[in-house]
Structure 1
Amino acid sequence: MKIKMIIILMLLIVGTQHQLNAQNPIIKHIFTADPAPIVYKNTVYLYAGHDTASVRDKNYKMPDWHVFSSKDMVNWKDHGALLSPKTFSWATGDAYAAQCIEYKDKFYWFVSTFHKNDINSRGGAAIGVAVSDSPIGPFTDAIGKALVTNEMTTDMKHAWDDIDPTVFVDDDGQVYLFWGNGSCKWVKLKNNMTELDGPISAFKPQNYIEGPWVYKRNGHYYLVYAGAGTKPEIIAYCMAEKPEGPWIYKGIIQGNVLNSFTTHPGIVDFKGKSYFFYHNGALPTGGSYRRSICIDYMYYNADGTIQKVIETTNGVAAVKNNK
């Protein structure tokens, strides 16, 4: 009897320790999606969508975007809902994937939502940009109109073309905007961050669906995206020698995630380690419309190619020496 009690106690202790170490998902008080991290002054700022659909809903309800911050990758502060489609007089609908970057001491938050039907637009998805002097706002509409609008037809064809913006500033200061559902589009931006600088180009990476994330590391350019061709999504990537391409397909770095038919990449280096952000439906009552952001380590091979991400419940360890 005593031996059985000892075994039970040991199992309870192990289970408790596992729960204490189970960081993923990293945000537990609300449902979050479409992670977009940046590093600024020894702090990681995480810009995220906010799922509010009920367990019975069969579609997204995403009223706003939240900002979280952390100095150790483990403890995250919620700065609240700092932006919503209501910020933009031209916008309507939900707060889909977005990314904020710092450029010349200002913060530009590129968002995807839907455009109101009016004399200047046929509705459909659109990309806007908000600006602030601080990573935590206040943010205002930078130009009073959408930066990118599509040409949706009456049968809703192309309605979702213009979503999921990612913005990248190259070493020479040139800014690039990538986005798109179905095909990946890109364009140069003027250095005011609010005007297109040339024509829009489009291409179709292998298995591309949506959610591009573009960055440069150790001389290599990376295009990471949600792909597979069908749901549920995986994360694949390409590499290039310049932002204009050609982009060469390199493979899959994340398979299907738990309890969600979508996933979305966000990648940063912070204090000597690389981190891969994504979302799944792992929280209690979670699912494809009630998602949660997770973080795991990301590793590169000597030639710059990316190793497959290992998803864990433990997540990442706290970063030390935060001075």
Structure 2
Amino acid sequence: MARTLFLAAAALAGGAACAAPNPLFAPLYTADPAVLVDAGRVYLYTGRDEAPPDGKDFVMHEWRVFSSCNMVDWRDEGAPIRARSFAWAKGRAWASDIARRNGRYWFYATVEHATVPGFAIGVAVSDSPTGPFVDARGSALVTNDMTTETDIAWDDIDPAVFIDDDGQAYLYWGNTVLKVARLKPNMTELDGPITVVPVADFVEASYLHKHGGIYYLSYSQHFPEETAYMTGPTPLGPWTPRGVVMARNLKTPTIHQAFFDFNGRSYVAYHNAELPGGGEYRRSVAIEEFRYGADGSIPFIAQTRSGPSANPSAACTR
């Protein structure tokens, strides 16, 4: 697939470092961002909303990946995987996450299962962050019949993968009920039981990251959704609620965050529906820069049109 360079409208105009305008990746509608920082580049993975303007449901067939070495200029790397890349799935390319281990890239994805009623989580692998990704198991990692806390078909969605400094990998996921399990070193099997994490008002979009020795578990709460977070001393808590860090959207009831550090600065990716023609099923990924408090707290982060300013890494000079 041909690669297209997305240049921010105001990027580096007249030699000055300018901000990349939010939302990103017009004219595509994108949602549910996941982020990987690797070799001086940021790789941003999104679902693609393809619903018509009057659509009444999500139409999502593929995941896209975009990359940048400066947080302003974004390169469209194409569609490295589709929902039907999992032969056992009937479709629905919902939220995903990614991690690197031993030089390979492990992509965890939400799809609807073809034979087990409900949504499931698959895992795909590639030797490159831009794919192509292939099914690493030939079967789902998590299916709806493995969790019985609710009777809804979509309670096994939104995987969030995290590898700690000691090499132990964890998978968080869920809707209305937050679940966690360890992963084996092969990244394709659960290592022990699935555990429920009691979180008041939890809806979906769990995400685990670490900064300054503190573990952060963020998620969407209430509906329409807002982004909240908790902190803990380990990847399994115990968790202390810390409050809301991003307000609900005006044009879509969902919001989905991914926190990351790049080249000495901190960012959050999320989605709203602020592109022209946007709405509940036609969403738009955006990014904001923020600074942690002296105590490690995340401040309330306002959504902006300006987006982050340029932050070039050494990879930009290669």
Residue 21 (structure 1) shift = 5.8
Aligned pairs for 1:58-97 (under 5 A) are 58-97=56-95
Q: Deviations over 1:119-140 (max 9, x none)?
A: xx3x201000000000011210
Distance of 2:78 and 2:307 partners within structure 1: 23
Tell me the equivalent position of 1:158.
152
Task: Indicate conservation of the 8 Å contact 2:179/2:197, yes or no.
Answer: yes
Residue 91 (structure 1) shift = 0.6
CA 1:137–1:21: 2 relative to 1, 3 Å: closer
Tell me the equivalent position of 1:313.
305
- Partner residue of 1:137 out of 131, 134, 157: 131
Tell me the equivalent position of 1:264.
256
Q: Which runs of 4+ in 1 moved over 4 A?
A: none
- Partner residue of 2:46 out of 45, 48, 53: 48
What percent of counterpart residues are identical?
46
Distance of 1:44 and 1:74 partners within structure 2: 11
- Partner residue of 2:217 out of 223, 243, 263: 223
Tell me the equivalent position of 1:284.
276
Distance of 2:279 and 2:155 partners within structure 1: 24
CA 1:51–1:74: 2 relative to 1, 3 Å: same
Task: Indicate conservation of the 8 Å contact 2:23/2:274, yes or no.
Answer: yes
- Partner residue of 1:180 out of 166, 174, 179: 174
Tell me the equivalent position of 1:116.
114
Distance of 1:222 and 1:114 partners within structure 2: 29
Letter in 1 for 2:237: G
CA 1:40–1:106: 2 relative to 1, 3 Å: same
Task: Indicate conservation of the 8 Å contact 1:124/1:152, yes or no.
Answer: no
Distance of 2:111 and 2:218 partners within structure 1: 21
1:212 equivalent to 2:206? Answer yes
Q: In structure 2, the residue corresponding to 1:297 is in which secondary structure?
A: strand
Q: In structure 1, the residue corresponding to 2:84 is in which secondary structure?
A: helix
Residue 26 (structure 1) shift = 1.4
Distance of 2:290 and 2:199 partners within structure 1: 22
Distance of 2:170 and 2:142 partners within structure 1: 13
Distance of 2:71 and 2:90 partners within structure 1: 33
Task: Indicate conservation of the 8 Å contact 2:214/2:232, yes or no.
Answer: yes
Distance of 1:215 and 1:22 partners within structure 2: 24
Q: In structure 2, the residue corresponding to 1:178 is in which secondary structure?
A: strand
Distance of 2:312 and 2:63 partners within structure 1: 29
Letter in 2 for 1:287: G
Tell me the equivalent position of 1:8.
none
Residue 158 (structure 1) shift = 2.7
Distance of 1:137 and 1:93 partners within structure 2: 19
1:128 equivalent to 2:159? Answer no
Task: Indicate conservation of the 8 Å contact 1:33/1:292, yes or no.
Answer: yes
Structure 2 length-normalised TM: 0.90
Letter in 1 for 2:290: M
Distance of 1:216 and 1:317 partners within structure 2: 23
Q: In structure 1, the residue corresponding to 2:79 is in which secondary structure?
A: strand
CA 1:132–1:320: 2 relative to 1, 3 Å: closer
Distance of 2:63 and 2:312 partners within structure 1: 29
1:253 equivalent to 2:245? Answer yes
Residue 320 (structure 1) shift = 3.3
**Bigger Cα Rg:** 1
What RMSD over aligned residues (CA atoms) do the two structures have, in Å? 1.6
Q: In structure 2, the residue corresponding to 1:195 is in which secondary structure?
A: coil
Residue 22 (structure 1) shift = 6.6
Tell me the equivalent position of 1:202.
196
Tell me the equivalent position of 1:10.
none
Task: Indicate conservation of the 8 Å contact 1:205/1:247, yes or no.
Answer: no
Task: Indicate conservation of the 8 Å contact 2:220/2:226, yes or no.
Answer: yes
Tell me the equivalent position of 1:13.
none
Q: Structure 1: where are the runs of 5+ without partners?
A: 1-19
Q: Structure 2: where are the runs of 5+ without partners?
A: 1-17
Letter in 2 for 1:295: I
Q: Deviations over 1:291-311 (max 9, x none)?
A: 000011122111111101121
Count of residue correspondences:
296
Distance of 2:25 and 2:298 partners within structure 1: 26
CA 1:133–1:21: 2 relative to 1, 3 Å: closer
Task: Indicate conservation of the 8 Å contact 1:183/1:208, yes or no.
Answer: yes
Letter in 2 for 1:277: A
